Each structure stands twice: as structure tokens, then as C-alpha cells.
Amino acid sequence: MYFAILMKKSDPAHDITVYERNGPDDTFGWGVVFSGKTLTNLRNADEDSHAEVTRNFAAWDNVDVVHRKDKISIHGNSFSGIERLQLLKILQRRCEQLGIELLFRTEVADIDSLRASCDLLVAADGVNSTARKQYAQELRPALDVRPNRYIWYGTNKLFHGLTLTFRENESGVFAAHSYKFNKTTSTFIIECDPQSWETAGFASMSDDQTRQYLERVFESDLAEQPLLSNNSKWINFLLVKNANWFFENVVLLGDALHTAHFSIGSGTKLALEDAIALFDCFRKKQSVQDALEEFESTRKPVIETYQAAAHDSMRWFENAQDYMNLSPIELAYSLMTRSGRVRDEDLKRRDPQFMARYEAERNSFTGTAGVPPANGTRSH
């Protein structure tokens, strides 16, 4: 929808149809997160939808790390969240305003005939993309099913910041990624390694039993608020890459094209920024072929860099067990620097108090020549 908006806005003569198998109010998930930089990109691309998004979002600047009895806040990280359904509604209204045809409850099964009837087919058909399967030979996707399991819940307990909570029980380690996205609700994603998942016995639990088990694990964090299910199921994160991003007049976009672990930011942000990048290519180039080539050659390096950072972050969470011996402040430092892209200088600039506290604790263990723990080797 976002790509359609940008194209139609730039030239109302474009004849654009969006096909969606779901109804206009159906959605999965809870809230989506944007960084300050993404919001600037959205403002530059379309001020109208940006204004509506920012009217409806919840903003914060802290990452909170909860480990044992401590909560460590690291400031200077500007993020905001919006309800996924709200965002879809904003984009739907904008499409209608511009005269873009939205066909809901319409499954695209025959991609070949659809693409024969148009100049360009943008396949933003999600992580299980039909188009990617149909043109697998040409697009050469690489799919990697990761070992950790995760499940998306909501809750009415408000987490005023991107909160990463670690809890251990007899079965293993559970990590929650949570953040509020409006005045009443937070997203609450729970992730665990396959060993913890097996030992907890989730394979034989019903959805309700799973939810109740996890409510007990995070009892002290949820303040008696239940976990809210939206047909929530355990899933394995699927890492998606494609050697080729388009075939003739079909181009992939968003999750169909690439995924990045949710611990580093939302797939929605990447999908929207793809739409902006693709639109820019159509602005610069005259033919569909040239625009798609330009899209692949300019956007691919950006996504590869992003996926590399997301990969390091994903690996950190896959090995979370190894870090549980760290003290809360060490764990917070390890988390903040996990992707290798945030350096000590960055943290000092963003939150000098946090760094001063971390360095003081590190030095108290190692003397003034202290070496920061790269992983969970210290035990106390």
C-alpha cells in the first residue's frame, strides 16, 4: 500500500490495484516499532500519512534491561510504536483518498496471468510469499529456519520503553521483548531456545496452557495483567534472502524479499523503507527494467548491512543462556553492544550515566585495567 501511495501521488495517471487475501480489519500481531530515523524517512516520503502515524503513536527514548531483581535503563534511543491495525487503516484511507483500488478478500493464486496484465507486479506478499515460490528458480531464495522459538502476545501492562526481560526457571531461559504501542496495550514477544522449549513441554500444551505457563514465567513483570492472545502460536524465525530481487516485471518487497530478526527492529520498517527506495528508482529511471535493476543494486547493500547487524543480534538471543551469569549492568552492556554497531563512545554520548555505572562496576571487578566481558564468562 505504501508503494502504491507514493506512485499514485507522484502521477495520478497510474492505474494501481492492491490485492489482499484478508479483510480490511484482519491483522496479526500487535504494535510495530519505528526508530526516529524511519519516521524522518516517512515524513519526507508522504507528509499526510506521517502526520496521522505520529498522531497515533507512543514514543520513548529508553531501552530497559530486566535481569534478576534489577531494571537497567539506557537512554538516548529514540523509538516509537503504533498499533499494526491502526497503521494499516491509515494506509488504507490514504490509498482510498488517492484513488487506488483495494481489493480485499482476494487471493492471488495465478501470478503469471496477473503479471501479464500489468506493467509491474510488486509482490509484497509476506514471509511465505507465493511469488517467491513461483519464481524460485529465477529469484534463488535462501531460507534459513532458526532454532529459537518465539510467540507474539499483547498485554495491558504498559512497558514504557523497549524492555528486554530475562527470566530463568527449571526448564531454561525465556526472553521477553516488550513495548507499549498505545495508551492501553504493549506488544510482548517471548523467545526461547529449543532446549528450554522442549524441557518446558510446550509440544504437548494447548494454546491456553502455553499462555498460562508463560504468564507464570513473567509473573513479576506483568503486574497481574494477562497475556493477550491473537491466535498466538510458537514460530521459528525464518531468515529470508534472495539472490535476485526481481524477475522480468515481478519484484519482491518487504518480508517476501528479506527478513531481519525482530530484536533489531520491525519488518514493517524495512518494508516501508523498501517501498520508498523502489519509488525513488521509478522516479530516476524511465523503464520498469531499469528501475528494478537500480532497486536491486542500490537497496541490496543497505539490506545486507542491516541483515548482518540483525544476524549478530539474533545469535545473541540464540545464545542468551550463556549470558545469564552476567550481572544486570553487564548484561545490559552486552545487549547494547551485541550487534557490534554500537560502540562505547556512542553509549557514552547517549547515556553517560549508564556508561559511568557500567565502567565503575567493571573496574571494581577487574581493577582499573578491566576488560569488558565479551560473553557470559563471569559468574557472580
Ligand X SMILES: Cc1cc2nc3c(=O)[nH]c(=O)nc-3n(C[C@H](O)[C@H](O)[C@H](O)COP(=O)(O)OP(=O)(O)OC[C@H]3O[C@@H](n4cnc5c(N)ncnc54)[C@H](O)[C@@H]3O)c2cc1C
Binding stretches for ligand X (CB under 6 A): 19-22, 28-33, 84, 107-108, 124-126, 130, 152, 187, 254-256, 266-268, 271
Q: Write down the least CB distance from residue 129 to ligand X, Å.
A: 7
Smallest gap from Cβ 159 to ligand X, in A, equals: 13
CB nearer to ligand X: give 54 or 325: 54
Q: How far is the CB of 73 from ligand X (least distance, A)?
A: 22
| Smallest separation, CB 214 to ligand X (Å) | 16
Nearer Cβ to ligand X (13/142): 142
Q: How far is the CB of 247 from ligand X (least distance, A)?
A: 16
**What are the backbone dihedrals phi and psi of residue 241, each rounded to the nearest 5 degrees, phi first?**
-135, 155
Cell of 133: 515460490
The residue (of 108 and 324) whose beta carbon lies closer to ligand X is 108
| Least distance (Å) between residue 318 CB and ligand X | 19
126 dihedral zone (left: phi>0; alpha: psi -120 to 50; beta): left
Q: Which residue's CB is nearer to ligand X, number 84 or number 180? A: 84
At 136, the amino acid letter reads A
Cα–Cα distance for residue pair 125/133, rounded to 1 Å: 11
Nearer to ligand X, 76 or 126 (CB): 126
Minimum separation from the CB atom of position 33 to ligand X (A): 6
CA distance 256 to 60: 30
The H or E element containing residue 272 is helix 267-284
For residues 178 and 165, is the Cβ–Cβ distance under 8 A? yes
Which CB, 72 or 240, lies closer to ligand X?
A: 240
How buried is residue 47: exposed, middle or buried, by Cβ count under 10 Å (0-12/13-18/19+)?
exposed
By beta-carbon proximity to ligand X, the closer residue of 102 and 108 is: 108
Residue whose beta carbon is closest to ligand X:
267
| Residue closer to ligand X (CB basis): 174 or 188 | 188
Q: In which element (H, E) is residue 65 found?
A: strand 63-67
Sequence length of the chain is 380
Q: Residue 24: phi, psi to the nearest 5?
A: -65, -25
> Using an 8 Å Cβ cutoff, are 256 and 124 in contact?
yes
Q: 139 near 125, Cβ under 8 Å?
A: no
List helix spans (H) across 285-323: 288-318
Q: Contact at 8 Å (CB) between 312 and 336?
A: no
Alpha helices in 117-254 (DSSP H): 130-134, 136-139, 194-200, 207-217, 219-222
Radius of gyration of the chain, Cα coordinates, nearest whole angstrom: 22
* Beta carbon of residue 360, minimum distance to ligand X (angstroms, whole number): 36
The end-to-end CA distance of the chain, in Å, is 51
Our CB check for ligand X shows the closer of 32 and 331 to be 32
Least gap, CB of 164 to ligand X (angstroms)? 15
